Amino acid sequence: MMQGIIDSHIHRYPEHIIADPLGWAAANGEPYWAKMVAPDGLQDWADRARLLRDMDEAGVEKAVIQGWYWQRQENCAELNRWHVRWLKEDPERFIVLASAQPAAGRVAVEDLKRALDEGCSGVGELHPWAQGWSLHDPVWEEIAAMCSERGFPVCFHATETVGRDYTGKLDTPLAEYMALARRFPDLKIVLAHWGGGLPFFMLNRWTAKQLKNVYFDTAASPLLYDARVWKNAVEMAGSTHVLYGSDYPLRVYPSKQSAADMLMLRDEALGALPEDARIAVMRENALRVYGG
């Protein structure tokens, strides 16, 4: 179809966490994550072999391994070390981001600097409202300034502002992300999950100007929107501002998938994207934003 796809939003966990996610979460103080990956939910798990197999099957050349919005900085640091290790293991298949918990204070900045020096390409996935910090927190502002200056992107979870309630749904006020983009105009900001609907406001000329460095990824799209979203959101946001991402290994078609795969979403995207947007959305934008 084209050069390989870049999936800009997957998650990966080390085998000791996969073996006992809830036990690990209980022992390490991560109740919010435990709720999100509870066994009756949509979460699937993949070790290295399965992940690479699923990427190959779907023509995904590289995947961006997002961190998680861990509540404890110790867990950010531990998982960041895994990310660096996975990058070293398969440098041509992964781009890795670092997790951070700015509520932990200065240690979050120091740990993050180390992770970026060791090969992480940005920060994410962040969720201030799940992690309990504010976009005006001085520790966060230091991180934002550093990322802006050094060209590192930051990826935030964004929740759709209307719609049904579900496990772990926590509002992420879009006006706050807007204000952040205004305070840090050079910071590359990726808002996951179609930016919670923010692409619509790219139709507003004033807003569009403020959002020139804000990008939207498509993670978990079918759980939230029907396939018309691809064409419509790309038209509103502009094809340079949308990054294909799956949220693998989440089962994003729960009624059709017993296990996560990368094929179904890829086919939905390729079938629904306007032809002249395909290469940008499926590959080039991710390379431009996340490097690699």
Is 42 near Zn ion (CB under 5 A)?
no
Region binding Zn ion by CB under 5 A among candidate stretches 31-39, 157-165, 256-264, 278-286: 157-165
| DSSP-derived secondary structure letter, 280 | I
Nearer Cβ to Zn ion, position 43 or 278? Answer: 43
Using CB under 5 A, which residues numbered 87 to 126 contact Zn ion?
none
Is 283 near Zn ion (CB under 5 A)?
no
Nearer Cβ to Zn ion, position 121 or 221? Answer: 221
Question: What is the Cα–Cα distance from 65 to 97, expressed in whole angstroms?
Answer: 6
Q: How far is the CB of 188 from Zn ion (least distance, A)?
A: 17
Using CB under 5 A, which residues numbered 129 to 148 contact Zn ion?
none
Structure tokens at 163: 């719609």
Strand partners, 43: 250
Residue selected from 192, 202, 277, 289 as contacting Zn ion according to rule CB under 5 A: 192
Nearer Cβ to Zn ion, position 142 or 176? Answer: 176
Q: How far is the CB of 156 from Zn ion (least distance, A)?
A: 8
Q: How far is the CB of 111 from Zn ion (least distance, A)?
A: 21
Q: How far is the CB of 9 from Zn ion (least distance, A)?
A: 8
C-alpha count within 13 angstroms, C-beta hemisphere, residue 73: 15
Name the one residue in this structure whose structure tokens are 């004033």: 206
Strand partners, 154: 123, 189
Is 157 near Zn ion (CB under 5 A)?
yes
Nearer Cβ to Zn ion, position 154 or 278? Answer: 154
Nearer Cβ to Zn ion, position 154 or 192? Answer: 192
- The 3-state DSSP class for residue 20 equals coil
* In the complex, residue closest to Zn ion by CB: 157
Q: How far is the CB of 155 from Zn ion (least distance, A)?
A: 9
List Cβ neighbours of 65 (8 Å cut-off, separation of 6 or more): 10, 11, 12, 83, 86, 94, 95, 96, 97
Nearer Cβ to Zn ion, position 192 or 289? Answer: 192
The beta strand positions in the chain, using DSSP E, are 5-10, 60-65, 94-96, 123-126, 154-156, 189-191, 214-217, 242-243
Region binding Zn ion by CB under 5 A among candidate stretches 53-61, 178-186, 191-199, 255-263: 191-199
Q: How far is the CB of 270 from Zn ion (least distance, A)?
A: 23
Question: What is the Cα–Cα distance from 109 to 192, expressed in whole angstroms?
Answer: 23
Region binding Zn ion by CB under 5 A among candidate stretches 133-141, 149-157, 172-180, 237-245: 149-157
How many residues interact with Zn ion (rule CB under 5 A)? 2
Nearer Cβ to Zn ion, position 125 or 278? Answer: 125
Helix count (H) and strand count (E) of the chain?
Answer: 15, 8
Q: Is the Cα torsion angle 30, 36, 41, 44 positive or negative in sign?
A: negative
Residue 191, classified by CB atoms within 10 Å of its CB into exposed (0-12), middle (13-18) or buried (19+), is: buried
Q: How far is the CB of 7 from Zn ion (least distance, A)?
A: 14
User: Which residues of the chain form contacts with Zn ion (CB under 5 A)?
Assistant: 157, 192
